[in-house]
Amino acid sequence: MKTPLDLVQAAKARITEVGLDAAEQALRDADVLIDVREADEFAAGHIPGAVHFSRGMLEFKLAADPSLQRRDLRVVL
């Protein structure tokens, strides 16, 4: 059985993390921007165009929305 650390390492092998210096360009290039903070934090302010999927519901929301299931989709969280 995989440990939580194994799962994190597997996920990190499939994503690209960007530093602050590349964040603005990543946002411009993104197909979708997902804000994973809690609902009250999102309501208090968020980047225009961002969709809200709190972290605890992220996988369920992505699985339920066919437009977000493309493997070539550029997603910024």
The residues spanned by each domain of the chain are 16-76
Closest CA to 49 of 74, 26, 32, 37: 32
pLDDT surpasses 90 at 15? no
- What's the pTM? 0.79
The answer to whether the CB of 34 falls within 8 A of the CB of 53 is yes
Strands (E), 8-74: 32-35, 51-52
pLDDT on residue 18: 92
pLDDT on residue 69: 86
Token couple for 35: 């804000």
